[in-house]
Amino acid sequence: MSKQTSLILFKPDAVENKNVGSVLARFEAEGFSIRGMKMMQLDNAILTEHYAHVAELPFFPDIAAFMSKSPVIALALEGDNAISRVRDLLGPTNSKEAPAGTIRGDFGTDMMINVCHASDGEETAAAELQRFFQDGELF
């Protein structure tokens, strides 16, 4: 097993529905450690960078509107094989397909309103952590 750090973004639905504590408790119960955490309001520049792979597609404005409608919480979570383990805990991206017992199955609604974003690989995690955390914000 290798130690990894993954970026988690608690999306507006998690913040507005007061599910952050419950979800964070699940991550901690699995042995993950918090390396950094902060609340922030996402603007168009960071959303365009973060969603560069879909920024030119017709549904991007809907994503940007949703992700900027309220603050999000950025979390740097560390643990053995954190990237794949976090994604397993979350369940499928589409909450409608996520089984009960997964975070998205228990708290999500659909493909966009799905509680959390999580890094999907080590390179992605490194870029995302740098995007959302400045020097000195990870411990």
* Given 117, 118, 128, 132, the catalytic residue: 117
Residue 50 among the catalytic residues? no
Taking phi over 0 as left and psi of -120 to 50 as alpha, with beta for the rest, 73 belongs to: beta
CB atoms near residue 49 (< 10 Å): 12
Strands 33-40 and 116-118: unpaired
Query: Nearest 5 degrees, angle CA 88-CA 92-CA 93?
Result: 120
Per-residue tokens: 98: 């996520």
Q: Which residues are catalytic?
A: 117
